[in-house]
Structure 1
Amino acid sequence: MTDTGSEAVYAEIELRDWDEVRTLQEERLLDQVEYLATESEYYREQFDEWGIDPDDVQSMDDFADIPFTVKEDERRNQVDPSIDQPLGPHQAADRAELARVMSSSGTTGEPTFFGLTSDDYDAWIEMAARSVYAAGARPDDVFLHAIGRTMVPGGLPYVEALQEIGATVVPAGDGSTERILKTADKLNVDGLFSTASHFQYLIERAPEVTDRTVGELPVTKLIGGGEPGIANPDVRSQLHEAYDADRVSEVMGIGDIAAALSGECTVENGMHFVGQEYVYLELIDVETGEPIDLEPGAEGEVVYTPLGREATPLLRFRSGDYARIIDMGCECGRTSPRFQIIGRADDMLIYKAQNIYPAGIREVVGEIEGASPKMKVVLPHEGKVQFDEPIPIEVARSPDTERPEDELVDDIATSVREQLNVRVDPTVLPSEEIELSEYKTDLVRVADD
């Protein structure tokens, strides 16, 4: 932990003027391009194919001419690995230099693997430490880590990051729901680390498996990642109230780049970017790929380039996350962009000429009296994204509401139309009929499934 003179941040660079940070990023960006030109078989071939001389990349403006890398490029790289390059030609460090290999969750296709040298992994842990510290974890806390997939970025890196800041960690994610709840109670844990869906799932299951509510646990802090959700005001309010929590904060990473890239401070309104010297951040128009300035109110797909990454580096990686910049800087002292993930770019639907994200619909639905933020968009068949007719959605009724179903349906349809300029066809269901996952919950389902 850097001595910043402030308990609000983990590292001094989080307080540094953002223009100064961007200057540092540009220097490291040019070094990274040079590294790839000499050490990466894959990117050497790509530079030739693109007709780009790496020596001509001398600024951020030059860098913006480099084509994007997408998830499918990584998958193709790993189809036929060799003994020397188990991660494919994308691997830029010798096999002997690999210290850790992590895996994506595979929730959006075939899992991909990410290699890390010791220096790469140190950078991951530093960013994750900044992230959980921003989210409220402190050295005197006991945190129960409830994500059981140790091989995914939300697993071991966050366990080690919590330890890095000095917290006591209980890695109980591989246990059953009953064991997680009973362990949290018995060990008087201060915080839980999991996903928003899992926190909601525990609310429902706790009375059934322990005869107690989650509000009776000693937990006062919730840190959630892995999916959008906590930023939704109704989800956040539900978690605050159900757990009687002082802090409900969101963190986010993407395994291709880093386990943690952002963390939410006490303001609880958007996550701060925490990869200052480790990751170059861009925002682009989803359809045109054109850069969008990082400024309050800007929206677009987030693009990342790791800086100093040795094992499996990437250039201009399209994350698929669609984000809105809340502000540049914050009252907490951090100067980096503060943003919210609105949804997945590949979840985008089109209603006539209007782009819409399921998370945006959920945000509106969650504000309606008698409706809960548990909802799903129902696609008539796989691959359906264009709608000229109202989009079918399923919405869970709040357990304590007495509002008639037809009144709820009308209110939902009207609110979505007025706020998003999109027509939906709601079906209201009992809460238990819309399934929550123990890990991540999709906001979209296919009617045939």
Structure 2
Amino acid sequence: MNTPPTFSAIETQPLDAIQAQQLELLHRQLAYLAAHSTLYQRKMAQAGIDLASIRTLADLARVPFTSKQELRDSLAAAPLLGLHRAAPAQDIVQVQASSGTTGSPAYVGLTRADRASWAEVTGRGLYACGVRPHDLVLHAFSMSKGFVGGVPIYQGVERVGAVDIPIGADGGADRLLLAARDARPRCIVGTPNFLLYLASLAPDVTGMPATALGVKRLIVGGEPGGGNPAIRQALQQAWGATCCELMGGTDLGCVYWAEADDQRGMYFVGPDYILAELIDPASGEPVAWSEGATGELVYTSLQREASPVLRFRSGDHVTVTAMGGPGGRSTPAIRCFGRTDDMLIVRGVNIFPSAVQDVVSAMVPLVGGAVRVLADFEGHTTQGNLKLLVERAPGADAAQNAEVARQVEARVRNALSVKPEVRMVRHGFFAAPGAQKVALTLRKMPDLDA
């Protein structure tokens, strides 16, 4: 059966046609903000900018960025949805929440039109990752706390025409695996570490290896790991399935970057609903989209009613891995290699914990693969060494700790240009992945005897 290569025609339009449409939508969105958003009315007045003067996409660079802290302040000033709520309260039909890992959860509102656009773009992303109409999709992201991996993913699966089995990570590993045994879903969606953990439990829970459960697509996101070659290979071997990564965020939508069959990176699937810029994170200057370029992603809502944002600095640091791809895709593809919130400066060197994870996970089976960065200092900067806690391989002898730690230190030093201090801990020391994202950074030394 032949299926279209993309879910929407916008994904294969020439870039100049996409940009022309974006410009028209941008003019409408800016006029809407000027009329309805208290936050942006005040922000533009303070900056001395008339949004009507933004006539080209290049002009957008004159508009000041919106930071995460500004949105937090906006929410605190006018709970629940903040000064950037631009639709009447009676038009809000859905509220979603961030994970709140850096403070109180951030809430965003959706009107009926917003909800439809979120489902459309999420559907495009899931389709790119391999979900097809009538597929059974086992839902292993958290279904609780208003996270976008819950109800919005469900709505995206529905938009594709597939069938969501909404057990969620909160339902527990046993229930998910029994559902996989009974339903034989073609696809599973969840965080990479949790899906790897599920596979390890499959023989005990179902009486068969994960490879026998019939899963063909693993669709992962929500935390680092999906783009990590070692973790990806382990996932694909454990399930006997193809792994594809997706990415989004509460402030803009559920999913708007998603990997296709070429597995070169995550393609931008929502250019008619979100305008994406690439900037130099230090200077804030625009970076041209081209293969190999690196920078931070900045987003502007298009066609958004309830909680629109303008030039929002995402904190996601990415590398452009392709410009267009299979099936006539014309949008860029990326890999995310870290977040500003997570970045540490160790003796003047910028270190992303996800980069440490990449190095250590590639050393399996010498080590177990799990690693945590111990940032037991104030702020994000230290003149000390990079402290790492690394799990031993299953069944490894503690007598070999010193030699294994030495090898890990050498590999990390060579790859990241910092001097690490590695302490080995027992296999299984860190809590098994579950509904919460895996936090790669610890702020205080755990009880190593626990």
Indicate the larger mover: 136-145 or 407-416. Answer: 407-416
The equivalent residue for 2:273 is 278
The equivalent residue for 1:57 is 54
Aligned to 2:258, the other structure's residue is in SS state: strand
Which of 177, 181, 184 aligns to 1:181? It is 177
Q: How does 1:396-407 map to 2 (within 5 A)?
A: 396-399=391-394, 404-407=400-403
Which of 304, 310, 313 aligns to 1:315? It is 310
Aligned to 2:171, the other structure's residue is in SS state: coil
Native 8 Å contact 1:234 1:373 kept in 2:
no
**CA–CA distance in structure 2, aligned partners of residues 274 and 67 of structure 1:** 25
Corresponding pairs, count: 440
Aligned to 1:346, the other structure's residue is in SS state: coil
Task: Give the AA of the match of 1:66.
Answer: V
**CA–CA distance in structure 2, aligned partners of residues 436 and 299 of structure 1:** 33
The equivalent residue for 1:443 is 440
**CA–CA distance in structure 2, aligned partners of residues 214 and 445 of structure 1:** 31
Aligned to 2:341, the other structure's residue is in SS state: helix
Task: Give the AA of the match of 1:313.
Answer: P
2:134 is aligned with 1:140: yes
Structure 1 residue runs without a partner (length 5+): none
2:45 is aligned with 1:48: yes
Cα RMSD between the aligned structures?
Answer: 2.0
**CA–CA distance in structure 1, aligned partners of residues 203 and 377 of structure 2:** 37
Task: Give the AA of the match of 2:126.
Answer: V
The equivalent residue for 2:213 is 217
Native 8 Å contact 2:215 2:239 kept in 1:
yes
Q: How does 1:162-311 map to 2 (within 5 A)?
A: 162-173=157-168, 174-245=170-241, 247-311=242-306
Offset of 1:328 from its aligned partner? 0.9
Native 8 Å contact 1:195 1:225 kept in 2:
yes
2:69 is aligned with 1:72: yes
**CA–CA distance in structure 2, aligned partners of residues 432 and 332 of structure 1:** 43
2:414 is aligned with 1:410: no
**CA–CA distance in structure 2, aligned partners of residues 396 and 212 of structure 1:** 27
Cα 1:179–1:6 change in 2 (3 A) is closer
Q: How does 1:294-443 map to 2 (within 5 A)?
A: 294-369=289-364, 370-383=366-379, 385-399=380-394, 404-439=400-435, 440-443=437-440
**CA–CA distance in structure 1, aligned partners of residues 272 and 4 of structure 2:** 21
**CA–CA distance in structure 2, aligned partners of residues 177 and 412 of structure 1:** 31
Cα 1:256–1:23 change in 2 (3 A) is same
Aligned to 2:335, the other structure's residue is in SS state: strand
The equivalent residue for 1:31 is 28
Task: Give the AA of the match of 2:119.
Answer: I
TM-score, structure 1 as length reference: 0.92
Native 8 Å contact 1:324 1:341 kept in 2:
yes
Offset of 1:304 from its aligned partner? 0.8
Which of 83, 90, 97 aligns to 2:91? It is 97
Indicate the larger mover: 198-207 or 125-134. Answer: 198-207
Indicate the larger mover: 218-227 or 199-208. Answer: 199-208
Structure 2 residue runs without a partner (length 5+): none
Indicate the larger mover: 217-226 or 308-317. Answer: 217-226
Aligned to 1:78, the other structure's residue is in SS state: helix
Offset of 1:448 from its aligned partner? 4.6
Which of 5, 10, 13 aligns to 1:8? It is 5
Native 8 Å contact 2:143 2:167 kept in 1:
no
**CA–CA distance in structure 1, aligned partners of residues 363 and 141 of structure 2:** 31
Indicate the larger mover: 147-156 or 59-68. Answer: 147-156
Aligned to 2:116, the other structure's residue is in SS state: helix
Native 8 Å contact 1:132 1:162 kept in 2:
yes
Which of 152, 157, 162 aligns to 1:157? It is 152
